[in-house]
């Protein structure tokens, strides 16, 4: 790592995965950094109130400051204001977990969620807001890839792989580039992606791209998805929900200009 800023950001990102905190030595091992260097960065981050130490010589953990900054930004950007009522309605109709991811560079990041399952078995990760969406193995990622040219798909997957680094193998993730390209072709024909036992074993999901203006030609702004336990969310159920998912994506795209975040994105991202 070449700069103090890069080291500090790496530490913050790593601590975001451990709400209970971590020892300095554990952070240093995970990031392949000297213990003394990690300790200096943590002391500076603590001075700025981004991390706290539980006690003398104790673990370091994030404070709420960083989360508050992110939530405040999303609130002022208008993303959740326009999206949450639409997501809540889709969750109530589907009785499953609904998530919105937005375009971030050339990938997606989950930013909003609504849970429609109130009883029984349900899929509720609870930790994915703010997490980058893996392109090849997730329904949202495949919905985005399906809007790209084959050349761009290959470049994207070349950087991110067919599986997320460090995640357990699943029974139905794309086994090869050829397998993935066929799945993307099927997605283009259906209009929505399907991922069953692909990202997480036992989970089924479907997703569709959200486009500016709610039209098929608008610039891609993100993706909206429905996910649930695979035993309760088979492909036949996805087919039933497809029109409702399409309508939610259209509503999100049509409402996007009311959000400063989406309006700025629409000025920068060309239409398909």
Q: Are residues 120 and 241 in the same domain?
A: yes
The token duo for 223 is 């993706």
- Residue 41 to residues 19, 34, 153, 184, 249, Cα–Cα distance (Å): 18, 11, 37, 43, 43
Q: Are residues 13 and 82 in the same domain?
A: no
Instruction: Assess if residue 69 is contained within a domain.
Output: no
3 state SS of 152: helix
- Taking only the tens place, the pLDDT of each residue in 95-153 is 999 999 988 877 888 888 898 877 665 555 555 666 788 999 999 999 999 999 999 99
Instruction: Assess if residue 200 is contained within a domain.
Output: yes
Q: How far is it, in rounded angstroms, from Cα 16 to Cα 30?
A: 13
Q: Are residues 16 and 138 in the same domain?
A: no
- Taking only the tens place, the pLDDT of each residue in 53-93 is 887 778 999 888 887 777 677 666 667 778 889 999 999 99
Q: How far is it, in rounded angstroms, from Cα 244 to Cα 205?
A: 14
Q: Are residues 86 and 51 in the same domain?
A: no
Confidence of residue 192 (pLDDT cuts 50, 70, 90): very high
Q: Into how many domains does the chain fold?
A: 2
Q: What number of other Cβ atoms are within 10 A of residue 191's Cβ?
A: 16
Q: Are residues 225 and 139 in the same domain?
A: yes
Instruction: Assess if residue 180 is contained within a domain.
Output: yes
Evaluate whether 146 touches 184 at the Cβ level (below 8 Å). Answer: yes
Residue 30's CATH number: 1.10.10.10
Contacts of 16 (CB under 8 A, 6+ apart): 62, 66, 130
Q: How far is it, in rounded angstroms, from Cα 127 to Cα 132?
A: 11
Q: Are residues 83 and 53 in the same domain?
A: no
Q: Are residues 134 and 220 in the same domain?
A: yes
Per-residue DSSP letter, 271: P
The pLDDT value given to residue 238: 96
Q: Are residues 145 and 52 in the same domain?
A: no
- Taking only the tens place, the pLDDT of each residue in 226-272 is 999 999 899 999 999 999 999 999 999 998 887 777 766 666 655 54
Evaluate whether 238 touches 76 at the Cβ level (below 8 Å). Answer: no
Evaluate whether 143 touches 108 at the Cβ level (below 8 Å). Answer: no
Q: How far is it, in rounded angstroms, from Cα 209 to Cα 140?
A: 8
Residue that is last in its domain, among 39, 63, 87: 63
- Which domain does 112 fall in, by range? 77-268
Q: How far is it, in rounded angstroms, from Cα 126 to Cα 130?
A: 11
Q: Are residues 116 and 17 in the same domain?
A: no
Evaluate whether 132 touches 109 at the Cβ level (below 8 Å). Answer: yes
Q: Are residues 25 and 118 in the same domain?
A: no
3 state SS of 222: strand
Q: Give 33's strand partners.
A: none
Evaluate whether 108 touches 101 at the Cβ level (below 8 Å). Answer: yes
3 state SS of 144: helix
Instruction: Assess if residue 68 is contained within a domain.
Output: no
Q: How far is it, in rounded angstroms, from Cα 46 to Cα 248?
A: 42
Contacts of 169 (CB under 8 A, 6+ apart): 163
Q: Are residues 55 and 157 in the same domain?
A: no
Q: Are residues 85 and 191 in the same domain?
A: yes
Nearest to 120 by CA among 215, 229, 24, 219: 229
Instruction: Assess if residue 190 is contained within a domain.
Output: yes
The token duo for 46 is 């603590």
Residue 249's CATH number: 3.30.450.40
The pLDDT value given to residue 124: 59
The token duo for 264 is 């700025």
The pLDDT value given to residue 177: 94
């Amino acid at each position: 790592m070449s700069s103090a800023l890069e080291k500090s950001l790496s530490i913050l990102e790593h601590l975001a995965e451990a709400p209970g905190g971590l020892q300095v030595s554990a952070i240093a091992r995970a990031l392949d950094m000297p213990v003394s260097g990690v300790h200096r960065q943590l002391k500076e981050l603590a001075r700025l109130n981004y991390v706290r130490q539980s006690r003398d010589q104790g673990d370091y953990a994030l404070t709420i400051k960083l989360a508050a900054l992110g939530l405040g930004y999303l609130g002022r950007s208008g993303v959740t204001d326009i999206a949450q009522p639409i997501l809540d309605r889709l969750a109530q109709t589907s009785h499953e977990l609904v998530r919105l991811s937005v375009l971030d560079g050339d990938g997606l990041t989950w930013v909003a969620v609504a849970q429609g399952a109130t009883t029984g078995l349900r899929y509720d990760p609870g930790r994915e807001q703010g997490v980058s969406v893996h392109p090849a193995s997730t329904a949202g990622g495949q919905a985005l890839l399906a809007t790209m040219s084959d050349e761009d798909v290959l470049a994207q997957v070349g950087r991110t792989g067919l599986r997320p680094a460090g995640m357990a193998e699943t029974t139905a993730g794309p086994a090869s580039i050829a397998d993935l390209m066929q799945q993307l072709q099927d997605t283009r024909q259906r209009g929505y992606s399907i991922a069953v036992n692909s990202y997480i074993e036992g989970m089924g999901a479907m997703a569709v791209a959200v486009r500016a203006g709610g039209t098929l030609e608008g610039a891609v702004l993100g993706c909206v998805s429905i996910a649930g336990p695979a035993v309760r969310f088979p492909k036949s159920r996805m087919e039933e929900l497809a029109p409702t998912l399409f309508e939610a994506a259209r509503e999100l795209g049509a409402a996007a200009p009311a959000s400063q975040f989406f309006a700025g994105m629409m000025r920068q991202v060309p239409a398909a």
